[in-house]
């Protein structure tokens, strides 16, 4: 079976899988440490971060699985291959992150109503260790050209939320040690929730947009029509233009091009492909050349 032309470079995918696996192992191991430390210290910020890291472990595992599945070759049932798995993983992980934030928010409100004693020294030590682990994991996920991989971005956002949580826990521990004011613990937890919720919501919306076959944000369909007509004299009109994304890094396009002179159709087709590639970064397109008007229009008129 031939390799799908949309299949990303194998080395790049292998690098992503390796980094996700390392991040998964590091996060999973420290989740146990942080959970014990949060329980012993009585800190909601540390316990919340431990719960967040537990779900991060699951999220990173899902992301690693998705990265493996997306490398599978196209088959007769899925002619585009399994690239969309990264978008599905990003969507599910984003929803999971929203749920975590909601749970932490409820717990924080309860802690404000009924303050609990917190062991500031133990809280500070666990939070500082968590910060170092999260920085290391975030560097693993952020290294390389992965900014267009929604799966990697959501995985990194999970870890970034943990990093913010660790920073908040450190700040809360310092305040508690200095003043004994324990409400700072749930208050900083809520502040972290707001920051993470904003980013998670944005990524979930992006995943939904892709799954709904929405037009990529950097693409202007009218600009495509006008550019093709202006730069390719053989083209009389461009219509039925559809642009969507298989993944954020793989835009796809179909269009009809009206070329009255049949003798110019092959040359015009090549030019259209070049313009789409060079000016709009669309390398996978399906072009229907029409020399006697649009067949779809004729069919609709006949009905």
Q: What is the pLDDT of residues 73-82, one digit of tens each?
A: 777 788 777 8
* Contact (Cβ atoms closer than 8 angstroms) between residue 97 and residue 196: yes
CATH number of 221-302: 3.30.70.1350
At 273 the pLDDT is: 95
CATH number of 10-211: 1.20.1510.10
Long-range contacts from 147-150, C-beta under 8 angstroms, 24+ separation: 148/247, 148/248, 148/249, 149/16, 149/86, 149/247, 149/248, 149/249, 150/86, 150/87, 150/90, 150/203, 150/206, 150/207, 150/210, 150/247, 150/248
For 56-101, strand residue ranges (E) read: none
- Which segments in the chain show pLDDT lower than 70? 1-13, 43-49, 51-52, 55, 70, 142-151, 295, 297-303
pLDDT, tens digit, for every residue of 8-30? 455 566 777 777 888 888 888 88
CATH 3.30.70.1350 segments of the chain: 221-302
CA atoms 267, 272, 273, 279: torsion sign: positive
At 3 the pLDDT is: 45
At 5 the pLDDT is: 43
CATH 1.20.1510.10 segments of the chain: 10-211
At 147 the pLDDT is: 55
At 224 the pLDDT is: 95
At 271 the pLDDT is: 94
At 104 the pLDDT is: 78
At 151 the pLDDT is: 67
What is the value of pTM for the model shown?
A: 0.72
């Amino acid at each position: 079976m031939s390799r799908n032309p949309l299949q990303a470079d194998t080395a790049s995918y292998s690098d992503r899988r390796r980094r996700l696996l390392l991040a998964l192992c590091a996060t999973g191991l420290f989740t146990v440490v942080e959970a014990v430390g949060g329980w012993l210290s009585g800190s909601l910020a540390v316990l919340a971060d431990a719960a967040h890291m537990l779900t991060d472990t699951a999220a990173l595992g899902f992301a690693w699985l998705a990265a493996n599945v997306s490398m599978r070759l196209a088959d007769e049932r899925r002619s585009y291959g399994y690239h969309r798995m990264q978008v599905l993983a990003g969507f599910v992980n984003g929803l999971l992150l929203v749920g975590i934030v909601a749970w932490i928010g409820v717990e924080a409100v309860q802690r404000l109503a009924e303050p609990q004693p917190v062991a500031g020294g133990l809280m500070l030590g666990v939070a500082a260790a968590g910060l170092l682990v999260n920085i290391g994991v975030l560097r693993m996920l952020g290294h390389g050209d992965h900014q267009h991989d929604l799966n990697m971005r959501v995985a990194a956002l999970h870890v970034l939320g943990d990093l913010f949580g660790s920073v908040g826990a450190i700040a809360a521990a310092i305040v508690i040690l200095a003043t004994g004011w324990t409400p700072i613990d749930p208050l900083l937890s809520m502040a972290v929730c707001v920051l993470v919720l904003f980013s998670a919501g944005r990524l979930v919306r992006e995943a939904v947009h892709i799954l709904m076959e929405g037009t990529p944000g950097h693409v202007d369909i009218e600009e495509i029509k006008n550019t093709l007509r202006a730069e390719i004299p053989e083209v009389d009109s461009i219509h039925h233009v559809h642009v969507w994304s298989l993944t954020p890094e793989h835009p796809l396009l179909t269009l009809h091009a009206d070329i009255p002179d049949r003798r110019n159709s092959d040359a015009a087709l090549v030019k259209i492909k070049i313009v789409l590639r060079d000016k709009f970064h669309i390398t996978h397109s399906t072009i229907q050349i029409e020399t006697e008007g649009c067949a779809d229009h004729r069919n609709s008129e006949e009905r």
